[in-house]
Structure 1
Amino acid sequence: MLLTAFALLLLLAVLLSSLAHRTILSTAALFLVAGFVLGDGALGVVSLTAADPLVATLAELALFAVLFTDGMRVGWQDLRSAWRLPGRALGWGLPLTLVITAVGAHYLLGLGWIEALLVGAILAPTDPVFAAALVGNEKVPPRLRQLLNVESGVNDGLALPFVLVFLAIAAGSHDLHLGELGLELGLGVLIGVAVPWLAIKLEQTRWFAASTQYEPLNALAIGLLVLAIGKATHGNLFLAAFSAGITVATFGPRQRESFEHFGELIAELFKLAALLVFGALITPSLLAVGWQGWLFALGALVLARPIAIWVSFLRAGLSMREQAAVAWFGPKGFASVVYGLLVLASGIGAAQQVFQIVAVTIVASILLHSSTDIVVARWFDDERELPAWYGVARRIRGSKERRDEPAS
């Protein structure tokens, strides 16, 4: 039944996609709401629990696909040239968001400091997938799009060690295995760089060449190989995915270009499937977090990220409009879903409460951010900001200037 529901919703999303690109209608919100309606929270047509292997597997694959395609949008040179602003967001914005969110979880929800810090770490990563109209709008300043892309791709992996450390402390483990965590992260980056580099160099030899028909599958094969080796060696899959995307973009621009559209479609399919499943997990009892829980979720979206970004980008040279866009678009997505499921499966005392508040915040984020991306994107559409007579006046002024030019 799940496959049938996904196929019908996918067809509906395709038919409504043109309208969604012009209005606040969101396909992400459509799949989330449909999952809730079809799940045990309403009709009970699609019955899933958080313990089902499908849930964690799909969320993991969706996040991997999204990070791989995100990383492929920038090569190493692009990343170096654009690192100044993402560095502020990651070096200052991420820990500040974590701390501010944790303070809210402690005082509003009554969680202990470790559990509150765990919630902060889970909700600190951002996901621009739900702000696609902003990231994909060419009239939005390139540095702003790069900032959101680079930040979201890197902060998922950077937040993971905090999640694991706080989770280990909450479980009562005093042996945090920091060396193992460092090895996992480093191994993920190594796999993400080495595997694509070797594959691309192999194709560039005189013994091999990809046909035009199979060329889009080259990057897909690389991504699958990175995923397989990462799982076999227990390297961090998310850092491996983003590193692999950057490596392909750096050393294989032809592979990136041939895979770009195909890869985005694959990531979109995984994203929508994960949202459908996540929506099916939501029940009225899961959303019953009281007014404090909903107040916390709202504060995590409209206060924690904006305050952290405002502090992080003091004297950074961003316009007020750019800074407001960055502050608002800190949507919570797949990384937070995966980390929340990790906590739920851990069996710690506050596991259910942590998962509930994380789920409520993610639901609110998806509904708010995916419905406002097109609105904020239009802030940067200069033609929309100008009065209708401006275009005529500009053409008249241009014609006059040309007439006044001296003949050569």
Structure 2
Amino acid sequence: MTELLVLALTLLAYAMVSSRLSLSPITAPMVFTGVGLLAGAAGLVDLELDGEVVTLLVEVTLTLVLFTDAIRIDLRALRRHLGLPVRLLGVGLPLTILAGTAVGALLLPGLGLLEAALLAAVLAPTDAALGQAVVSDPRLPVRIRQAINVESGLNDGIALPVVTVLLAVVVAEEGARATDGWWSLALSQVGFGVGVGVVAGLAGGWLLDRRARAGAVEGVYRQLAALAVVAAAYAGAVQLGGNGFIAAFVAGLAFGHVARAHCEHVQDFSEDEGELLTVTTFLVFGAVLVGPVLDEVTWRTAAYAVCSLTVVRVLPVLVALLGSRTLVETRLFLGWFGPRGLASILFALLVVEEVDGPVGQEVFEVACLTVLLSVVLHGLSASTWSGRLARRLDRLGRDRAEHGDAAEMPTRRRLGR
């Protein structure tokens, strides 16, 4: 029960100063990771990396995050303002994985090309919540804020099939099994995941929308019904041999398409639960995952982590934004604020569960170190650079490309609620 006490006291203490901290460079992930590190070092948190508690936390958090990230992105509205998000997701994301693979192959001799690609895919998703100011500071143009917000909302789900396929191949090779069947495993994981997600999201969303319009669904059960949709998508996909996380993300996209009127209520309900799971994950991250990793840091793992947050992310974004007519500083801003956070932690835990031996451990350690650096560096720099860029764009006038039209969509965590 010591772990629960540590979480409860940390949560209470942070809540008492959360309004003031929301305007400072100190973010919730920084606080909970730091407390976790101290609690782990003091022996107050005694959880096993492969224990049931950690596994359950990972699965529930990732499922909820993928679903809620998907439903908050209005695909109809996004179609009218595709410019920057399409560049970041369609060009920047694949180039980031390729760059991460190349750097991993050069810096981490213990990894083969496939393992380096798996590590790069694990670290490809971004988590805007680590630098909340970049998506919530009203001084920044909506187009810039929403480019980061939409990218963060969609790239974890887009990267997930890549992680799934690469993980299937690596597991087959590490297990010294014939690899000619890996493709069927990967295809079933992705195929059933997508199929079940589409069916669950469309059917559940349509049914909820129809019955709610008829006045047949009472209050909170609108929100509980949406959570039942994601649970059914996850469980149904797993039962058929598919990937439950892919099903959760696809169900969110499908649900949001047919039941957009109910997404705000779902987000209101799930935001609190999602935030609780998120801060709990970061506390466990600090207490259970980071401590042992820090003892094993080498210059190679540190160099990869630094490269992952800089050249591996920034250069692909600069390439993706060629011809966008935005300032070079804006492009560097969008490149830098690709924090590695919750999705990368959870993907790394999936890897270490599936891949035995030093390869899985190295992927896990490098990913954890990268996320730790990101929690600190992106948290500290978000508010300062957001303010600086906003002031510069104000001085240059509203005819800049940065001030173009963009759909305002909810962020994962809204300040002031």
Give the TM-score band, short-chain normalised: 0.7 to 0.9
Alignment of 1:75-224 (within 5 A): 75-110=74-109, 111-171=111-171, 172=173, 173-174=178-179, 175-176=181-182, 177=184, 178-191=186-199, 193-204=201-212, 206=214, 208-212=215-219, 214-224=221-231
Going from structure 1 to structure 2, the CA distance change for 1:245 and 1:374 (only over 3 Å counts) comes to: farther
Which residue does 2:31 correspond to in 1? 30
Listed one character per residue, the Cα deviations across residues 120-158 of structure 1 (whole Å, up to 9, x for unaligned) are: 111111122212222223333333333223322332233
Name the SS of the counterpart of 1:256 in structure 2: helix
Name the SS of the counterpart of 1:282 in structure 2: helix
Which residue does 2:286 correspond to in 1? 279
Which residue does 2:17 correspond to in 1? 16
Which residue does 1:377 correspond to in 2? 386
Listed one character per residue, the Cα deviations across residues 47-85 of structure 1 (whole Å, up to 9, x for unaligned) are: 122211222321222222223332232323113223332
Alignment of 1:227-266 (within 5 A): 227-266=234-273
Name the SS of the counterpart of 2:132 in structure 1: helix
Mapped partners of 2:194, 2:220: distance in 1: 35
- Between stretches 4-13 and 109-118, larger displacement belongs to 109-118
Task: Name the aligned partner's letter for residue 133 of structure 1.
Answer: A
**1:28 CA displacement:** 0.8
Mapped partners of 2:360, 2:154: distance in 1: 26
Going from structure 1 to structure 2, the CA distance change for 1:64 and 1:145 (only over 3 Å counts) comes to: farther
Going from structure 1 to structure 2, the CA distance change for 1:137 and 1:200 (only over 3 Å counts) comes to: farther
- What is the TM-score of this pair, normalised by structure 2? 0.83
Listed one character per residue, the Cα deviations across residues 371-392 of structure 1 (whole Å, up to 9, x for unaligned) are: 3222233235449977xxxxxx
**1:334 CA displacement:** 2.3
**1:344 CA displacement:** 1.2
Which residue does 1:395 correspond to in 2? none
Name the SS of the counterpart of 2:150 in structure 1: helix
Task: Name the aligned partner's letter for residue 47 of structure 2.
Answer: L
**1:32 CA displacement:** 0.8
Residue 304 of structure 1: which of 298, 306, 312 is its match?
312
Mapped partners of 1:15, 1:33: distance in 2: 17
Q: Do the aligned partners of 2:198 and 2:251 also contact (CA within 8 Å) in 1?
A: no
Structure 2 gap segments, 5+ residues each: 396-417
Which residue does 1:325 correspond to in 2? 333
- Between stretches 361-370 and 109-118, larger displacement belongs to 109-118
Task: Name the aligned partner's letter for residue 82 of structure 1.
Answer: H
Structure 1 gap segments, 5+ residues each: 387-408
**1:190 CA displacement:** 1.0
Going from structure 1 to structure 2, the CA distance change for 1:302 and 1:283 (only over 3 Å counts) comes to: closer
The alignment's C-alpha RMSD in Å is 2.6
Mapped partners of 1:43, 1:336: distance in 2: 26
Which residue does 1:269 correspond to in 2? 276
**1:308 CA displacement:** 0.8
Q: Do the aligned partners of 2:127 and 2:342 also contact (CA within 8 Å) in 1?
A: yes
Q: Do the aligned partners of 1:58 and 1:270 also contact (CA within 8 Å) in 2?
A: yes
Going from structure 1 to structure 2, the CA distance change for 1:82 and 1:384 (only over 3 Å counts) comes to: closer
Going from structure 1 to structure 2, the CA distance change for 1:169 and 1:239 (only over 3 Å counts) comes to: closer
Alignment of 1:363-374 (within 5 A): 363-374=372-383
**1:214 CA displacement:** 5.0
**1:248 CA displacement:** 4.4
Q: Do the aligned partners of 1:154 and 1:239 also contact (CA within 8 Å) in 2?
A: no
- Between stretches 269-278 and 347-356, larger displacement belongs to 347-356
Name the SS of the counterpart of 1:350 in structure 2: helix
Q: Do the aligned partners of 1:82 and 1:146 also contact (CA within 8 Å) in 2?
A: no
- What is the TM-score of this pair, normalised by structure 1? 0.84
- Between stretches 323-332 and 78-87, larger displacement belongs to 78-87
Going from structure 1 to structure 2, the CA distance change for 1:140 and 1:107 (only over 3 Å counts) comes to: same
Which residue does 1:48 correspond to in 2? 47
Listed one character per residue, the Cα deviations across residues 332-362 of structure 1 (whole Å, up to 9, x for unaligned) are: 1222122212221221541112211111111
Mapped partners of 1:98, 1:146: distance in 2: 22
Listed one character per residue, the Cα deviations across residues 177-227 of structure 1 (whole Å, up to 9, x for unaligned) are: 243244134225414532432332332453x43344655545444444444
**1:228 CA displacement:** 4.0
Task: Name the aligned partner's letter for residue 323 of structure 1.
Answer: R
Mapped partners of 1:384, 1:126: distance in 2: 24
Mapped partners of 1:216, 1:55: distance in 2: 26
Mapped partners of 1:211, 1:193: distance in 2: 20
Task: Name the aligned partner's letter for residue 307 of structure 1.
Answer: L
Q: Do the aligned partners of 1:118 and 1:167 also contact (CA within 8 Å) in 2?
A: yes
Which residue does 2:369 correspond to in 1? 360
Mapped partners of 1:146, 1:339: distance in 2: 25
Going from structure 1 to structure 2, the CA distance change for 1:234 and 1:181 (only over 3 Å counts) comes to: closer
Residue 351 of structure 1: which of 354, 360, 375 is its match?
360
**1:311 CA displacement:** 0.8
**1:117 CA displacement:** 1.6
Mapped partners of 1:88, 1:234: distance in 2: 33
Q: Do the aligned partners of 2:302 and 2:369 also contact (CA within 8 Å) in 1?
A: yes
